[in-house]
Structure 1
Amino acid sequence: MTSTLPAPAATGEKAARRPRHPYLTALATARGRTGLALVGLVVLAGLLAPLLAGHPPTDQSGLTLAPVGTPGHPLGTDDLGRDLLSRLLYGIRADLGIIAAAVPLGAALGCLLALAAAAHPAADTAVQRLFDLILAFPGLILALAVTAALGPGRLPVVLVIALAEIPVFGRLLRTGILAQRGREYVTAARVGGSSGRRILTRHVLPNAADPLVVQIAVSLTVAVFLEGAMSFLGVGVRPPEPTLGAVLSQSMPHLAQAPHFAAGPLVTVTALVLGLSLVAEALNREIRR
């Protein structure tokens, strides 16, 4: 009597049955793809600014408030004769550099404080009061206070955004850690002899970190608005360096005469914020399943 062994499944079939990471699944949805496309276009424009810009962003010419389609100035010029396309592209580049430095810094500091709070009740009380102190200052008031101490510039903008994000990430991670500590698998690991550090790093943190990924996308959106508001009020990056908020602020007195002056930064900020919001929504929906 002979036995027939089942034929092994094809490699492609095995790969098809392999579960995808939830983040990749989220980004593969229509919302995720649309958000990534919008963010990718803006980021690519900023990265390629030296190649796409036909003029240095601070060079002035005799053409002031030139309309869209002017030879040599596809988006026209501003009130000082500077090429608007160049200022828009380099403004994107400056904004991306600021938020890419500020949001991870705020997230890292907030998570470190949350871990310190999880270590001891006294540390938890001190960290919570620190978060309350930071949250007592609205974003723009905090920006004015930091700028009054350090003066306008790129570093104060980074510090303001990072400070604003510290309590957001800290409280989110702290809440996740407290929720996971009450789960049965943590009790089982503790009974099995695992140390508190091993339980925290191998079990609690991986399960508590999912909301942080969504929060990063949301915080990048908030950072875009906060940087734009600081530059709009004149307490952000020093002129003549362009940022999206600075270009928009300079366009305000000329809206009736040259509406195209404000169109570029408005469309860019809208695309970036919409893209980040769609990515955050796609990730949030997948995580909550």
Structure 2
Amino acid sequence: MSEPTGHGATPPETAGGAAAAPGPAGAPATTPPREPHEPHEPHEPGGRHEVDGAAERAPSRGPLRDPVVLGSLGVLVFLALAGLILPSLLPHGPNELVSDRALDGPSWGHPLGTDELGRDLLARVLAGIRVSLLVIVSSVPLALAAGGLLGLFSSASRWLDTPVQRLFDVVLAFPSLILGLACAAVLGSGLTSVIVTVAVAASPVTGRVLRDAVRSQATRDYVVSARVLGVGTWRLYLRHILPNCFDVVLVQAALACATAVFVEGGMSFLGLGVPPPGASLGSLLSTSLNVLTSAPFYAAGPLVVISALVLCFTLLSDALNRTMAAR
């Protein structure tokens, strides 16, 4: 006699918890096979996913962590301090006769030797560094201001864009030394013509780069949102767009400093810079050509300083541009 089964009874379950499927008559119940599950990858602290996320969240290296920037700044600071402080520590000035022998070679008392009149070359090279610093401090802000304003107006107005760009084309068509000759013909020889030449020569590049940077920022979402909220044009430019273009201006400032050193040296080499008996790096280099065979040491000081200044400013500009572009 079979045991009756009530309605509340449940079918037998397998060890895995699945109901057994009824088989044919007289055959035992069978259990359907389970599909194997993919094993879960264990989460390891500090694994590949966390490393990738940390790499994406890691901030970019700042400019002051770049060895090229640090090296260039170190050389520039050293030369600037030497030109500003050392002349007051020397026992003689750049125009004083300190030796009876002209073109005397380097010695303990005169590390760079003496010039054709018996003046200390170290004192005159330091005076030349001071002249270059004066030209940089006077001309680079003028170049950034003039080029920046023209570039800003060019980016803000379609009517001014074409005339300003054609003006930049005309200025860039002339080499900087040709512009220096023109300024010297109008203003006369001296530092004034050198400063004006540097300001005119460096303005077009600054203006064009700032114009492109402002136009690029003007299409960003935050600018579009500010316009929708009713922010005024000049307030938008001064408080939002221009601060985001500061990196571009900083790079152009370093390039303008290199241009200032080059133009000052070139114009002084041609006799259009500091009048004698004043000393400048370009005039010292020009005089050294006359005594190059008899006193080759004469050109060492001004040549090394001019090369170091131009190279360091150029490397600084390139490193700043590379570092800021990686942000």
- Tell me the TM-score normalised to structure 2 length: 0.77
CA shift for structure 1 position 242: 0.5
* Distance (whole Å) between structure 2 residues aligned to residue 101 and residue 118 of structure 1: 26
Larger mean CA deviation between 58-67 and 24-33 belongs to 24-33
Q: Are 1:257 and 2:305 matched, yes or no?
A: no
Q: Deviations over 1:26-67 (max 9, x none)?
A: 123211111111101100111114323332211234220000
Q: Are 1:186 and 2:223 matched, yes or no?
A: yes
Q: Are 1:207 and 2:244 matched, yes or no?
A: yes
Does the CA contact (< 8 Å) of 2:202 and 2:259 recur in 1? no
CA shift for structure 1 position 185: 2.0
* Distance (whole Å) between structure 2 residues aligned to residue 119 and residue 284 of structure 1: 25
Summarize the alignment of residues 125-204 of structure 1 with structure 2, pairs less than 5 Å apart. 125-204=162-241
* Distance (whole Å) between structure 2 residues aligned to residue 152 and residue 260 of structure 1: 28
Q: Are 1:59 and 2:102 matched, yes or no?
A: no
Instruction: Identify the residue that residue 36 of structure 1 maps to in structure 2.
Output: 73
Q: Are 1:87 and 2:124 matched, yes or no?
A: yes
CA shift for structure 1 position 282: 2.3
CA shift for structure 1 position 151: 1.3
Amino acid at match of 2:105: P
Choose 1 or 2 for highest CA Rg. 2
What CA RMSD, in Å, does the superposition of the two structures yield over aligned residues? 2.0
* Distance (whole Å) between structure 2 residues aligned to residue 186 and residue 74 of structure 1: 59
CA shift for structure 1 position 157: 0.3
Amino acid at match of 2:209: L
* Distance (whole Å) between structure 1 residues aligned to residue 287 and residue 89 of structure 2: 22
* Distance (whole Å) between structure 2 residues aligned to residue 178 and residue 29 of structure 1: 29
Does the CA contact (< 8 Å) of 1:53 and 1:89 recur in 2? no
Does the CA contact (< 8 Å) of 1:99 and 1:223 recur in 2? yes
Q: Are 1:236 and 2:273 matched, yes or no?
A: yes
* Distance (whole Å) between structure 2 residues aligned to residue 189 and residue 68 of structure 1: 65
Instruction: Identify the residue that residue 10 of structure 1 maps to in structure 2.
Output: none
* Distance (whole Å) between structure 1 residues aligned to residue 88 and residue 230 of structure 2: 59
* Distance (whole Å) between structure 1 residues aligned to residue 90 and residue 282 of structure 2: 19
Larger mean CA deviation between 119-128 and 207-216 belongs to 119-128
* Distance (whole Å) between structure 1 residues aligned to residue 219 and residue 228 of structure 2: 14
* Distance (whole Å) between structure 2 residues aligned to residue 135 and residue 112 of structure 1: 17
CA shift for structure 1 position 202: 2.1
Q: Deviations over 1:88-125 (max 9, x none)?
A: 11111111111121111111111112222234222223
Q: Deviations over 1:140-190 (max 9, x none)?
A: 111111111111101100000011011111111111111111222211211
* Distance (whole Å) between structure 2 residues aligned to residue 25 and residue 127 of structure 1: 35
* Distance (whole Å) between structure 1 residues aligned to residue 301 and residue 159 of structure 2: 51
Amino acid at match of 2:198: I
Instruction: Identify the residue that residue 54 of structure 2 maps to in structure 1.
Output: none
CA shift for structure 1 position 136: 2.6
Instruction: Identify the residue that residue 68 of structure 1 maps to in structure 2.
Output: 106
Instruction: Identify the residue that residue 6 of structure 1 maps to in structure 2.
Output: none
* Distance (whole Å) between structure 2 residues aligned to residue 275 and residue 138 of structure 1: 22
CA shift for structure 1 position 274: 2.6
Q: Are 1:272 and 2:309 matched, yes or no?
A: yes
Query: Which structure 2 segments of 5+ residues have no match?
Result: 1-56
2:148 counterpart (90, 93, 111): 111
CA shift for structure 1 position 76: 1.1
CA shift for structure 1 position 78: 0.7
* Distance (whole Å) between structure 1 residues aligned to residue 154 and residue 118 of structure 2: 54
Any idea what SS the aligned residue of 2:252 has? helix
CA shift for structure 1 position 73: 2.2
Does the CA contact (< 8 Å) of 2:155 and 2:212 recur in 1? no
Any idea what SS the aligned residue of 2:62 has? helix
* Distance (whole Å) between structure 2 residues aligned to residue 53 and residue 125 of structure 1: 54
1:123 counterpart (160, 178, 185): 160
Amino acid at match of 1:176: A
Does the CA contact (< 8 Å) of 1:150 and 1:156 recur in 2? yes
Does 1 or 2 have the higher relative contact order (CA < 8 Å, sep 6+)?
1
